[in-house]
């Protein structure tokens, strides 16, 4: 009893406060990165009319490899060196990463920003289902209700879309599946020995960049990108390089948010930043068709996402804390044995 009395105040104060802070900070960082890269990519693909979203993805993978390799060589970070065990450890993340990049950039190019973000809401429901099946997680009824409200809001908003684009819708719905699966498996792989946050990022990009380049060359996509006239524009080159670096930062922010939160929370955070995307999309791009049905549906989504976040970040958070899990289990085991003996 004395052991339990001494341990509880520490968990209820310092550890829980730190866990809440890291959960919120990582989520806010991801929300900012996710919003910023959508605006940058939209500028490249629509304003500058860059013909290859696949080549843009290749640029982001290249930036990830270079940044992490240089950091590893300078001993700023550490992750496992490549060996024959890496492909087995990282699979199926590379396949999901490619699918997520290609379909996400394709959807950004084909749809208006607000409608793109509306259809992306279905990722949340898919993530909740996959997380419950793959990671065996259970969710409180209020969280489930808030997720369903987000989906209902998305359906209301999408029902008023007057610029239906079958190819764009297909891209985004496939992107929902890839994003949900990628988030769940990323959460699962982060616990594997030797990989860690940086290893997951590096080997994802390292394994898939060559097949992606070959596929781009085979489809003629690479030639279109290399012969693009905009390469002579300093403004376009700046935005392209910014997108490449932000691609790395975005992937790191996703890993960080998934590490301190659940995969579902990471997905919901991605929906919250859409309130900014929604309003900005009304003034840039020139492809937003306003309607009250769409506007109300979007705000239902945002409201439900904020409710989910409030419940999540104001919970005790002890069950999701990644701080010394092995020590916690050992302490509980020792305490139980002590109580049985006494």
Q: How many CB atoms lie within 10 A of CB 130?
A: 20
- Separation between Cα atoms, residue 135 and residue 217, nearest integer Å: 38
- Decide if 64 is inside a domain: yes
- Decide if 160 is inside a domain: no
Within its chain, how far is the Cα of 68 from the centroid? 19
- Decide if 302 is inside a domain: no
Q: What range does the domain containing 210 cover?
A: 51-80+196-227
Cα–Cα distances in angstroms (integers) from residue 53 to residues 46, 110, 216, 316, 340, in the given order: 11, 11, 10, 42, 62
- Separation between Cα atoms, residue 158 and residue 303, nearest integer Å: 17
Residue 161 phi/psi, 5-degree rounding, is -70, 115
- Rounded to two decimals, the pTM is 0.70
Q: Domain tally for the chain?
A: 1
- Decide if 74 is inside a domain: yes
- Decide if 68 is inside a domain: yes
pLDDT by 10s per residue, the chain, length 342: 444 444 445 445 677 778 888 888 888 898 888 888 887 888 898 888 888 878 888 899 899 999 999 999 998 888 888 888 888 888 888 888 778 767 776 776 677 666 676 677 788 888 888 888 888 888 888 888 988 888 888 778 777 665 667 777 788 888 888 888 888 888 887 767 667 788 888 888 888 888 888 888 888 888 889 999 889 989 999 999 999 999 999 988 988 888 888 888 888 887 777 666 666 666 665 556 677 787 788 778 778 878 887 887 776 444 443 434 433 333 334 334 433 333
- Separation between Cα atoms, residue 332 and residue 342, nearest integer Å: 15
């Amino acid at each position: 009893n004395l052991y339990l009395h001494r341990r509880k105040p520490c968990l209820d104060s310092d550890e829980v406060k730190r866990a809440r802070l890291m959960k919120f900070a990582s989520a806010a960082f991801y929300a900012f990165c996710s919003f910023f890269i959508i605006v940058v990519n939209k500028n490249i693909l629509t304003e500058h009319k860059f013909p290859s979203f696949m080549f843009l993805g290749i640029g982001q993978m290249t930036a990830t490899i270079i940044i992490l390799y240089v950091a590893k060589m300078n001993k700023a970070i550490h992750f496992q060196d490549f060996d024959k065990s890496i492909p087995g450890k990282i699979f199926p993340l590379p396949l999901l990463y490619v699918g997520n990049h290609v379909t996400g950039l394709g959807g950004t190019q084909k749809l208006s920003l607000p409608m793109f973000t509306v259809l992306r809401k279905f990722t949340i429901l898919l993530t909740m289902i996959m997380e419950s099946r793959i990671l065996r997680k259970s969710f409180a009824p209020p969280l489930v209700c808030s997720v369903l409200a987000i989906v209902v809001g998305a359906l209301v908003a999408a029902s008023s879309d007057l610029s239906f684009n079958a190819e764009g819708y297909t891209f985004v719905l496939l992107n929902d599946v890839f994003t949900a699966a990628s988030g769940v498996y990323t959460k699962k792989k982060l616990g594997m020995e030797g990989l860690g946050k940086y290893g997951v990022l590096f080997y994802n990009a390292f394994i898939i960049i060559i097949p992606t380049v070959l596929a781009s060359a085979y489809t003629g996509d690479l030639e279109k990108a290399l012969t693009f006239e905009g390469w002579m524009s300093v403004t376009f080159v700046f935005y392209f390089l910014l997108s490449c670096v932000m691609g790395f930062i975005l992937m790191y922010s996703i890993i960080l948010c998934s590490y301190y939160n659940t995969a579902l929370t990471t997905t919901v955070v991605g929906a919250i930043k859409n309130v900014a995307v929604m309003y900005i999309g009304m003034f840039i791009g020139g492809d937003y068709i306003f309607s009250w049905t769409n506007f109300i549906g979007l705000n239902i989504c945002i409201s439900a996402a904020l409710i989910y976040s409030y419940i999540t970040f104001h919970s005790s958070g002890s069950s999701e804390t990644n701080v010394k899990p092995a020590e916690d289990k050992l302490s509980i085991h020792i305490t139980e044995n002590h109580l049985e003996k006494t």
